[in-house]
Structure 1
Amino acid sequence: MFVSYKWLQEYVDLDGISPEELAEKITRTGIEVESVAFKGEGIKNVVVGHVLEKEKHPNADKLNKCLVDIGEGEPVQIICGAPNVDKGQKVAVAKPGAWLPGHVKIKRSKLRGEESNGMICSLQELGVESKLVQKEYANGIYVFPDDVEVGKDVLPLLGLDDTIIELGLTPNRADCMSMLGVAYEVAAILGKDVKLPETKVQEASDKAADAISVRVEAKEAAPLYTLKVIRNVKIGPSPLWMQARLMAEGIRPHNNVVDITNYILLEYGQPLHAFDYDKLGSKEIVVRMAREGEKMVTLDDQERTLKDVHLVITNGTEPVAMAGVMGGANSEVSETTTNVLLESAYFDAGTIRTASKDHGLRSEASSRYERGIDPNRVVPAAERAAMLIAKYAGGEVLAGMVAENHLHIEPAVVTITLEKINRVLGTQISAEEVLRIFKRLQFEASWEDGRFTVIVPTRRGDITIEEDLIEEVARLYGYDLLPKTLPAGRGTRGGLNVIQQKRRATKRFLEGTGLYQATTYSLTSEEKAHQYALEKREPVRVAMPMSEERSVLRLSLLPHLLESVAYNVARKNESVALYEVGNVFLKKADGAQPEEQEHLAGAITGLWVANLWQGEKKAVDFFVAKGILEGLFEKLGVSGAISYHAATFEGLHPGRTAEILLDGEAIGFVGQVHPNVQKELDIKETYVFELKLDPVYHYPAEPVQYRPIPRFPAITRDIALVVDRDVEAARLQAIIQEAGGTLLKSVSIFDLYEGEHMEPGKKSIAFSLTYFDPERTLTDEEVVAQHEKVLAAVKEKAGAVLRG
């Protein structure tokens, strides 16, 4: 809700309180103020000018040379490119030296050889949003009414000398969706009275009941419906001050009648609708539920298909408005309108919400109906609007009001004891102070036998129980005055549990290796749900999916991660390294909540190293992806339990994929995306991994142990073993490690050969073995003896022989 500070002053004496001070007080009493903005920020030295002459610029087809009186003696020449500028207009002129929003300074200049002493401004150039500018001025300068005085500052005329306080209202505070509602709130905060606007109007002798009748068939959806009839209106612009207030509140001005209904909407919080009486086609208004499949064209020129749960206003035959949401094009007030039918009603909130949601039409009116309006403002709002139409549109208001009333809403009566108020708030507030607070809120309250009886006005529909009254007392007494106490008992220290620590360590490590964290949708399509799934199950279908592309819960993180890679590559970011830590969802029994498993996935493509000044490039390969995982497992203390085995997975390259095992149990995979999938996604060679994190996080990590730097030299032996091609290097490494005993401290592979000098079906794998004893220097005899055991073991268990 946008609140005009100057407009608010008409209802409450603000007594010199600045907008900033007022905003602070409002925030302290429970309604958050989101911003305080001066409308004329950055505008200086802009005045009303009178265009005395206009002629075409001699050197430019789209420019005009204007002679403008700005109230300072001799008229000045200004070059203007607006298509609607003309002789006789009153316009906004930024004089030389003026400032406009955006820190724009206006100077004397020459445009195509002609001198220009200032600038004729549009509303947009004065900081008004384009969507709020009247259609006739949307593509040109703004033209003031003829009665404005030349030379006057434009800020007060356009309401730009005002400050707007934006309130962030919670759904329960529907009462503050109007200027009067905010006035009651501010008056309670400041201990002031509220001055209500004038509603009396001189009525004609003819009766409204003779011009129109009302029949309400949907009594539950429209328990109160009223009509006023105003004839002989003259459609034209609304007063400048009203236009300025509407624009300040985010509403575009249209004409005097429509603007007045919008003005009352903001003032009272009561939506109104004006019909062109002569376009109705009857002298009867029938309020009923729509017929299934019935059609109507709304004010936005869209044909709407109605359902039987939508409330409509009809002329007895066809709909002329969708109640509380939008009027019909067939009864719209236009320039030719002379007789107006003014509607003010109380509609059921749920009915309006249904229609608004079904048609995607959330308007200022529907938002108020949905939250609930004050039933006691329905009639005063209509009277006030009729008065303003009579005053500013020359209308003649027919006597009386045509209404059908089935509304029975009584003010809520809530009782509460003083003891409970003080017990809940921890205070010692007296009964007299509590009564003063209720009086400031303009609640009718009495005190008897230790109990308050409070009659809550209908404008405060949010107050129905004792706790609501306690909240009102607390916020007006002052939250900062409530006593402060510490919780009793012994507190507990905060901190991360072991799983949270490991999760953070995982993310830090992966980001340290150069991967970026991604967050993708948990929802996917039926087709993608099965791709790369570690466990094949039926996917969980969403009850009301937004689309088929987001209709089931994912079983793997990789499909969307690969989409992210493709998205980046398509935009020339060809080296991409992403990871995601997220949940997958595994279906259990029908109707049961799915099982959630935390997974880690990664996708890497392009260059891993690119030191171009040294001519060094290294493309991502299988061992880069595997190396990242090995480093992560070492960081998490589980590397000793991890092993890799060649495997085949759908969607992955059959010769460049490995299964990851933890103590012999499969927990994931690492490999290259299948070339066919790469082609479909239009990406180059890409390596991926995905694994379950729960087994890794819950595995008892190896304790960190200090190892002293060796004091004695180590001895290194290199061996090249010839084996069958189907023998895995990891198997050989494990055999060597086991046979090497306590003296063998490390084994690493440094070469693989399968060239023309090798027998068919054979390959050569070279290992580097390091022996040492931390307590003494090893002798050659000891190393040779242990090395012979290694060679014997690899020959016996894997058929390996030394390469000659």
Structure 2
Amino acid sequence: MFVSYKWLQDYVDLSGINATELADKITKSGIEVEGVEKKSEGLKGVVIGHVIEREQHPNADKLNKCQVDIGAENPVQIICGAPNVDKGQKVAVATVGAVLPGNFKIKKAKLRGEESHGMICSLQELGFESKLVSKDYATGIFVFPDDVEVGKDALEELGLSDEVLELGLTPNRSDALSMLGVAYEVGAILGREVKWPVVEKEESTEKATDYISVKVEAKEDNPVYIAKIIKDVKIGPSPLWMQTRLMSAGIRPHNNVVDITNYILLEYGQPLHAFDYDRFGSKEIVVRRAKDAEKIVTLDEAERTLTPAHLVITNGSEPVAIAGVMGGADSEVKNDTTNIILESAYFAGTVVRKASKDHGLRSEASARFEKGVDPARVREAGERAAQLIARYAGGTVLQGTAEVDELTMEPAVISITLEKINKLLGTDMTVTEVESIFNRLKFGVDLDNETFTITVPTRRGDITIEADLVEEAARLYGYDNIPTTLPIGAAIPGHLTDYQMKRRKARRTLEGAGLYQAVTYSLTSEEKASQFALEARESIGLAMPISEERSQLRLSIVPQLLEVVKYNNARQLDSLALYEIGSVFFKTEDQELPEEKEHIAGAITGLWESHPWQGEKKPVDFFVAKGVIEALFDTLGLADQISYRQAQINDMHPGRTAEVLLNGDVIGFIGQVHPTVQKDLDIKETYIFELSLKALAEAEVAPIAYETIPRYPSTTRDIALVVDQATKAGDIQNIIGEAGGKLLKEVTIFDLYEGERMEEGKKSIAYSLKYYDPERTLTDEDITKAHEKVLEAVKEKAGAELRG
């Protein structure tokens, strides 16, 4: 809904508040103002000029040389190419130095040898959209009415000095689809009165009922239909002020009668329609449902096929309009129209929407009927339109109306207590404050002690229950004034538990490492149910399985991930990295429901990195998978509590599999799928892991500790130790760490040798040891003393010898 700031001033006093401030207040009260557009932003120097003389340009067939009075001491010469420019016209002139939209500056020019001091403008050149410009001026300059003053600011006369507020209305606020509706809203916000247009009836002695009768067959769809007859109208342009208001609201001007019906639609929110009485085809109006396959040619010259789901206005035999959507071409008001039927009616929103949707006709009228118009304004809107047609089209309004009125819509009456309003809002408003809010909204208020009985006017059809009244009280009281409170309770809504937070961290870490989340079935076959299970427990079978492949609840997630790998490999997606956080299920003896635990599992295959341009390829191996879960442990703050040990697990590679331990307890495994299993599944070398999320999430995490950056240098010593083939590198690393004492800060493995020069049954493992003291520079004596302890320890506890 586009709202003209100056037009709004006709209905409510806006003194002391500009358009931007008003927009802010409307937004804070619950209706979002999406923008405020100042039409003349950046424009200047455009005045009304009078074309005194026009003659053909001596050197150009399509140019005219005009002498134009712009209110200055002397007329100016302007070269104009518009086909409709002529002597005697009053036009918009951009003078030398003027600025037009797009920062286009007008300068003195010479066109084909003739000087031009300015530009005669079209509406498009002044910033109006082409679709909003009247057809009379769509391809040429705009011509003002004769009564405008030469030299006056043309932008002011064209309404471009106005500001337009764009309201983003929700479907329930159909009351604000009119200027009067917005005026009620603004009046409530500012605490000011709303001024209605004064409707003065000027009717002839002839009666409308002598010319037309109304019959409604579908009374549920059309409980009110009012027709007025206006004779001897003269079709012409509507007043300039009306045209500019319509264009500001996004409606194209046509002629005085059509423009007045559109003007009332914007002013009252009540759609109207004018029929040419002499082309109507009869002296009766019949409103009914359309017959099957009945046809009508609408105003857009399209022939439309109707169904009994559509409501039509007929002349007793032929449809002349689709009710609430669009009129027919045969009864359209044209330039030679002299007598009109003015329709003002209330149509049910459902039947209008059906026709609008079926025919793809979305109009300003249909939008209002769909959302709901105020039944109390139907009659008054018709009278106001008749008054304006008589004034600006010279028509004679016949006495009375031809009508059917069986509408029994009553205002909603709702009771609510002050206590309930304050309890729901968390406020401490007084009776006086609440009463003032409802009075400002122009609701009927009956106060009994602290109980309000509110009579809601029919214009606010969105208010039907107590909660609606509470919302009205809240928004007029001011959302900014409602106190902020924190929820109290053992479980605060919206707060993640520690477990949920760690699950989220785990998901983000794995996705950050390059793994995609998979969601697989919790149901599997009996054969796969216990495969790769962390706990040797009995699986649970379904009482009524849909198939044998989905007959058991899973004990492990890995088999389902391997199925995903198989599915993708079969479709030539060879490089894949997946993870899933999901539940596994264990049978219990004393409970009917299974025990449910959450696990994290992953499967990685193919290339981990590929840089063809550099000729680099890195296939997935054990250490890639191990690096992924180590990143997870580091994120959860458990890196220091994790250890690994070689393991033999069914269906896993015997030399590339390890158990994962948390503080000495097994919580999962990592390794390569056994080659025979890979062959059975027809997949390539694949590495998997599965961990207990419950164990990871419930583990105690040491508080974060910070150490100063060492100011003193460190010293590194490398040693290569010869040990038995069966000796584990990790065991030796632990021995070194314990023996090195507080000066030994890091121990890393950097080489393994098992070549032909090594004694049979032996291997060489090389370690890098870093020593430093944060408080001082270590001497060779300090380092040698600590290092000798390390060498003695590995010799005594692991039988290791320094490699010569």
Tell whether the structures are fold-level matches, with TM greater than 0.5: yes
Q: Using the alignment, how far apart are the partners of 1:578 and 1:301 within structure 2?
A: 59
Say which SS state the counterpart of residue 258 (structure 1) adopts: helix
- The alignment status of 1:263 with 2:263, answered yes or no, reads yes
How far 1:265 sits from its partner (Å)? 0.4
Q: Which residue of structure 2 lines up, in the alignment, with residue 378 of structure 1? A: 378
How far 1:454 sits from its partner (Å)? 2.9
Q: Using the alignment, how far apart are the partners of 1:559 and 1:281 within structure 2?
A: 71
Q: Which residue of structure 2 lines up, in the alignment, with residue 102 of structure 1? A: 102
Q: Which residue of structure 1 lines up, in the alignment, with residue 87 of structure 2? A: 87
Q: Which residue of structure 1 lines up, in the alignment, with residue 272 of structure 2? A: 272
How far 1:13 sits from its partner (Å)? 2.4
Q: Using the alignment, how far apart are the partners of 1:271 and 1:154 within structure 2?
A: 31
Which amino acid is 1:398 matched to?
L
Say which SS state the counterpart of residue 184 (structure 1) adopts: helix
How far 1:323 sits from its partner (Å)? 1.2
State whether residues 647 and 658 of structure 1, in contact with CA within 8 Å, keep that contact through their aligned partners in structure 2: no
Q: Show CA shifts across 1:461-494 (max 9, x none).
A: 2233333334434444444555565555578695
State whether residues 226 and 401 of structure 1, in contact with CA within 8 Å, keep that contact through their aligned partners in structure 2: yes
| Unaligned segments of structure 1, at least 5 residues | 520-536, 539-554, 561-576, 585-596, 611-616, 666-693, 719-733, 751-766, 789-804
Q: Which residue of structure 1 lines up, in the alignment, with residue 292 of structure 2? A: 292
Q: Using the alignment, how far apart are the partners of 1:233 and 1:558 within structure 2?
A: 81
Say which SS state the counterpart of residue 144 (structure 1) adopts: coil
Name the CA shift for 1:445/1:630 in 2 (closer, same or farther; >3 Å). Answer: same
Say which SS state the counterpart of residue 257 (structure 2) adopts: helix
Q: Which residue of structure 2 lines up, in the alignment, with residue 14 of structure 1? A: 14
State whether residues 558 and 602 of structure 1, in contact with CA within 8 Å, keep that contact through their aligned partners in structure 2: no
Q: Using the alignment, how far apart are the partners of 1:85 and 1:602 within structure 2?
A: 77
Q: Using the alignment, how far apart are the partners of 1:164 and 1:557 within structure 2?
A: 59
Q: Using the alignment, how far apart are the partners of 1:581 and 1:122 within structure 2?
A: 65
Q: Using the alignment, how far apart are the partners of 2:565 and 2:473 within structure 1?
A: 52
Name the CA shift for 1:171/1:715 in 2 (closer, same or farther; >3 Å). Answer: same
Say which SS state the counterpart of residue 71 (structure 1) adopts: coil
Q: Which residue of structure 2 lines up, in the alignment, with residue 30 of structure 1? A: 30
Q: Using the alignment, how far apart are the partners of 1:295 and 1:404 within structure 2?
A: 25
1:588-737 alignment, distance < 5 Å = 617-618=613-614, 623=619, 632-637=628-633, 641-643=669-671, 662=690, 714=718
Q: Which residue of structure 1 lines up, in the alignment, with residue 428 of structure 2? A: 427
1:151-550 alignment, distance < 5 Å = 151-425=151-425, 426-431=427-432, 433-448=433-448, 450-482=450-482, 487-488=487-488
How far 1:386 sits from its partner (Å)? 1.1
Q: Show CA shifts across 1:751-772 (max 9, x none).
A: xxxxxxxxxxxxxxxx997567
Name the CA shift for 1:735/1:98 in 2 (closer, same or farther; >3 Å). Answer: farther
Higher Cα radius of gyration: 2
Alpha carbon RMSD of aligned pairs, Å?
5.3
Q: Which residue of structure 2 lines up, in the alignment, with residue 684 of structure 1? A: none
1:128-143 alignment, distance < 5 Å = 128-143=128-143
Which amino acid is 1:181 matched to?
G
Identity of aligned residues (%): 55
Name the CA shift for 1:42/1:501 in 2 (closer, same or farther; >3 Å). Answer: farther
Q: Using the alignment, how far apart are the partners of 1:225 and 1:211 within structure 2?
A: 16
Say which SS state the counterpart of residue 20 (structure 2) adopts: helix
Which amino acid is 1:110 matched to?
K
Which amino acid is 1:145 matched to?
P
State whether residues 712 and 776 of structure 1, in contact with CA within 8 Å, keep that contact through their aligned partners in structure 2: no
How far 1:408 sits from its partner (Å)? 0.6
Name the CA shift for 1:375/1:122 in 2 (closer, same or farther; >3 Å). Answer: same
How far 1:401 sits from its partner (Å)? 0.8
State whether residues 642 and 662 of structure 1, in contact with CA within 8 Å, keep that contact through their aligned partners in structure 2: yes
State whether residues 286 and 313 of structure 1, in contact with CA within 8 Å, keep that contact through their aligned partners in structure 2: yes
1:740-751 alignment, distance < 5 Å = none
State whether residues 68 and 78 of structure 2, in contact with CA within 8 Å, keep that contact through their aligned partners in structure 1: yes
Q: Which residue of structure 2 lines up, in the alignment, with residue 589 of structure 1? A: none
Q: Show CA shifts across 1:138-168 (max 9, x none).
A: 3332222232222110122111121222223
1:575-586 alignment, distance < 5 Å = none
Name the CA shift for 1:161/1:748 in 2 (closer, same or farther; >3 Å). Answer: same
Q: Using the alignment, how far apart are the partners of 2:283 and 2:24 within structure 1?
A: 52
Q: Which residue of structure 2 lines up, in the alignment, with residue 690 of structure 1? A: none
Name the CA shift for 1:68/1:454 in 2 (closer, same or farther; >3 Å). Answer: same
- TM (norm. structure 2) is 0.69
How far 1:257 sits from its partner (Å)? 1.2
How far 1:642 sits from its partner (Å)? 4.6
How far 1:644 sits from its partner (Å)? 5.2
How far 1:631 sits from its partner (Å)? 5.7
Name the CA shift for 1:771/1:355 in 2 (closer, same or farther; >3 Å). Answer: same
How far 1:627 sits from its partner (Å)? 9.9
Q: Using the alignment, how far apart are the partners of 1:643 and 1:414 within structure 2?
A: 70
Which amino acid is 1:427 matched to?
D
Q: Using the alignment, how far apart are the partners of 1:582 and 1:2 within structure 2?
A: 51
Q: Using the alignment, how far apart are the partners of 1:182 and 1:238 within structure 2?
A: 24
State whether residues 729 and 765 of structure 2, in contact with CA within 8 Å, keep that contact through their aligned partners in structure 1: no
Q: Using the alignment, how far apart are the partners of 1:302 and 1:646 within structure 2?
A: 72
State whether residues 43 and 101 of structure 2, in contact with CA within 8 Å, keep that contact through their aligned partners in structure 1: yes
How far 1:124 sits from its partner (Å)? 2.2
Which amino acid is 2:336 matched to?
T
State whether residues 243 and 253 of structure 2, in contact with CA within 8 Å, keep that contact through their aligned partners in structure 1: yes
Which amino acid is 1:430 matched to?
V
How far 1:710 sits from its partner (Å)? 11
Q: Using the alignment, how far apart are the partners of 1:157 and 1:94 within structure 2?
A: 14
Q: Using the alignment, how far apart are the partners of 1:579 and 1:98 within structure 2?
A: 65
| Unaligned segments of structure 2, at least 5 residues | 518-544, 547-562, 569-574, 583-598, 635-641, 643-659, 661-668, 737-746, 753-762, 771-785
Which amino acid is 1:635 matched to?
A
